[in-house]
């Protein structure tokens, strides 16, 4: 997939290091995300992918290093400025983190409705327009997250992240637990978001075919740091043993 990637950096991580009670989870993490670029992060379970994402969105504070969003280091940034920067981010959490006391449509429009003081009716219309592209039926909008299936919850979480067209999208395993058809629907959505809105995306995923579809660049987290990085094409030819294992175990056909 060829796309025009600007040289403008939207996220830059430098020398990031994160530990919990002395256990180092991440160290020497360096990468850049350019405007219009789609980055995939892969790595074994427990390798620290979610931790990396949480550092980027300011939920965790790194021990060391800097994280720049639109050229501003968010580490130790005063609250108000941090909030402003985060306005531009659309995030899905690995386990959805939907508000279970709110209906699905309220979940989807949560940020935009508060920000733009939308009426309920307009907000519902907005929610409807978003889930149309996600293969969801309108009738689930008035249900609560606990009343829909796990895969539907996943998509509601994605809808919540992309509502309001944020410039930077961060997805933590958006397609895990989805059937392959819906999974590729989500992939298309990520591509569209990056291509048409001119946004940038970081997607954590275990699905190698998805990586090939959506990513311009791939990062492998291994041994607490970036073990390999390159384009999906390079990845398929890579001699890195971890990468080979990953590809072989998901889809041997890809490797031919």
Partner 1 sequence: MFKYVFNFMGSIGRKCLNFISLLGHFFLFFTQTLSWIFRPPWYFKRIFSQILDIGYFSLPVVGLTTFFSGMVLALQTYNGFTDFNNETTVARVVLTSITRELGPVLTGLMVAGRIGAKMAAEIATMRVTEQIDALGTLGTRPMQYLIAPKVIAAVICIPFLVMIGNTIGILGGYVIAIYKLDFNPNIYLYATVDYLQWIDIIQGLVKAAIFGLIISMVSCYFGYYASKGAEGVGYATTASVVISSIMILTSTYIITALFFG
CA distance 214 to 165: 18
Q: Does residue 94 touch Mg ion according to CB under 5 A?
A: yes
Confirm if 36 and 6 have CB atoms less than 8 A apart. yes
Q: Does residue 232 touch ligand ATP according to CB under 6 A?
A: no
Which residues of this protein are in contact with partner 1, per CB under 8 A?
54, 57-59, 83, 86-87, 89, 91, 93, 95, 97-101, 110-111, 114-115, 160
Collect all residues with Cβ–Cβ distance below 8 Å to 158 and sequence separation of at least 6.
Answer: 92, 134, 171, 174, 186, 189
Binding to ligand ATP (CB under 6 A) within 47-86 occurs at 47-51
- Closest separation in Å from C-beta 255 to ligand ATP: 22
For partner 1, which is the closer residue by CB, 161 or 208?
Answer: 161
Q: How many residues appear in the chain?
A: 256
Give the CA diameter of the chain. Answer: 55
Q: Residues 48-87: x/- map of binding to Mg ion (CB under 5 A)?
A: --x-------------------------------------
For ligand ATP, which is the closer residue by CB, 66 or 176?
Answer: 176
Interface stretch with Mg ion, choices 33-41, 47-55, 77-85, 99-107 (CB under 5 A):
47-55
Q: What is the dihedral of CA 79, 81, 86, 87, to 10 degrees?
A: 120
For ligand ATP, which is the closer residue by CB, 124 or 222?
Answer: 222
Query: CA separation (Å) from 226 to 11, 50, 156?
Result: 16, 14, 31
Binding to ligand ATP (CB under 6 A) within 17-46 occurs at 20, 25, 43, 45-46
Structure tokens at 114: 């508060």
Binding to Mg ion (CB under 5 A) within 159-198 occurs at none
CA distance 186 to 201: 13
Binding to ligand ATP (CB under 6 A) within 82-111 occurs at 94
- Closest separation in Å from C-beta 161 to ligand ATP: 17
CA distance 148 to 157: 12
* CA-atom Rg of the chain in angstroms: 18
What does 115 bind: ligand ATP, partner 1, Mg ion, none (CB cut-off 5 to 8 Å by kind)? partner 1
What does 89 bind: Mg ion, ligand ATP, partner 1, none (CB cut-off 5 to 8 Å by kind)? partner 1
For partner 1, which is the closer residue by CB, 107 or 209?
Answer: 107
Residue 39: beta bridge partners?
202, 217
For Mg ion, which is the closer residue by CB, 25 or 74?
Answer: 25
Structure tokens at 1: 């997939």
Q: Could you tell me how far CA 60 lies from the centroid of its own chain?
A: 16
Site residues for ligand ATP per CB under 6 A: 20, 25, 43, 45-51, 94
């Amino acid at each position: 997939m060829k796309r025009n990637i600007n040289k403008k950096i939207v996220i830059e991580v430098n020398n990031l290091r994160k530990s919990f009670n002395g256990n180092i989870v991440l160290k020497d993490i360096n990468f850049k995300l350019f405007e219009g670029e789609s980055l995939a992060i892969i790595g074994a379970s427990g390798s620290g992918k979610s931790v990396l994402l949480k550092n980027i969105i300011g939920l965790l504070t790194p021990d060391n290093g800097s994280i720049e969003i639109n050229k501003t280091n968010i580490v130790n940034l005063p609250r108000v400025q941090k909030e402003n920067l985060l306005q531009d981010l659309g995030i899905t959490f690995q386990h959805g983190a939907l508000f279970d006391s709110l209906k699905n449509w309220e979940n989807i429009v949560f940020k935009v409705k508060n920000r733009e003081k939308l009426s309920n009716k307009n907000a519902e219309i907005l929610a409807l327009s978003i889930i149309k592209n996600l293969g969801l039926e309108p009738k689930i909008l008035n249900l609560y997250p606990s009343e829909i299936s796990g895969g539907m919850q996943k998509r509601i979480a994605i809808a919540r992240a992309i509502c309001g067209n944020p410039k930077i999208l961060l997805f933590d395993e958006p397609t895990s637990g989805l059937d392959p058809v819906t999974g590729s629907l989500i992939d298309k959505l990520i591509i569209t978001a990056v291509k048409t809105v001119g946004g940038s995306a970081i997607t954590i995923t275990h699905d190698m075919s998805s990586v090939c579809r959506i990513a311009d660049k791939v990062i492998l987290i291994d041994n607490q740091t970036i073990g390999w990085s390159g384009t999906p094409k390079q990845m398929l030819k890579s001699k890195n043993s971890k990468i080979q294992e990953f590809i072989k175990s998901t889809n041997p056909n890809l490797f031919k």
